[in-house]
Amino acid sequence: MRELYPDIEPYRTSRLAVDDLHTLHIEECGNPHGLPVVFLHGGPGAGLSTYHRRFFDPARYRIVLFDQRGAGKSTPHAELRDNTTQDLVADIEKIRVHCGVERWVVFGGSWGSTLALAYAQAHPERVLGLVLRGIFLGRPAELRWFNELDGGARWIFPERWQRYVEHIPEDERGNLVEAYWRRLDSPDPDVRLAAALAWGWWEGGSTTLVHDPLESGMFEEPAAAISVARAEAHYFRHGVFLGPDQLLRDVGRIRHIPATIVHGRYDIICPVKSAIDLAASWPEAALHVVLAGHSAADPAIVDVLVGATDAFADRFGRG
């Protein structure tokens, strides 16, 4: 099976003011003359990790990564004003111009797959190819699956669900996202952090195929917990700022673009049905359903993702 490429450091970092409020942190790695690719991280609000640079051959790719509005090193931290899917799509275009790229490969997983699809459908002429992992289409059933009492995820990780649901009084559990939002938007920083840590405990430890249901997970650091929980609750309560079935409705705009879709069969956060539905609307895309969970670090998913980026580097012949 293919593995991640070795650790690398950026050859350039920059800051880009995308409006009067938000300034984005941008990294460029690999070969400055290589095939351009933009990496779209998950969450929303999760920010970059160093391993995100490693899905691409650094000798053949110019790898552009950035922290989305309110996430990671972008400022203001955890800011939700002027923070919608449409704002993020516009940001990707501003980054493309900022980096002097004409067309590029777009790579995104989980929320990043949502954003990649939205961007490609808005700007198909700028996309050479798509690599999509852990498909999330932002539909109501997907939103309820993981975060509400009538969803199914709680039956799979009941130990982890317990802390998430017990943070909210019984009389508010009819809409857990709204109940969490009231706490995540509280003027009391202690109330905000406690809610963010409970939210992050549920999501952050449910990503991999094999794990300890009582381990801390990915979002225990306070700043990351706050940015992820606030951004996710903000986007989820607004239906991720997309119209009904928008990403499936508009897939005709991108069917000519070569694409690889990979999804873990045992993905608890984003059920595999979303990938199946996307592939049914997009028969030209290559769908891989593999023995994995949600995490991009699960070995079977790494294998397909690295294979897909290698294939695009072969196809487009840069570097």
pLDDT tens track for 233-269: 999 999 999 999 999 999 999 999 999 999 999 999 9
Contacts of 150 by beta carbon, 8 Å cutoff, 6+ apart: 144
Q: What are the CA-CA distances from residue 101 to residues 6, 32, 59, 127, 243 (Å)?
A: 25, 11, 18, 11, 29
CATH superfamily of 12-138+241-316: Alpha/Beta hydrolase fold, catalytic domain (3.40.50.1820)
Residue 317: per-residue pLDDT = 77
Tell me if the pTM is above 0.85. yes
Residue limits of CATH 3.40.50.1820 in the chain:
12-138+241-316
pLDDT of 218: 58
Flag whether pLDDT at 223 surpasses 80.
Answer: yes
Residues designated as active site = 110, 267, 294
pLDDT beyond 70 at 78: yes
- Give the separation between CA 177 and CA 16, rounded to whole angstroms: 32
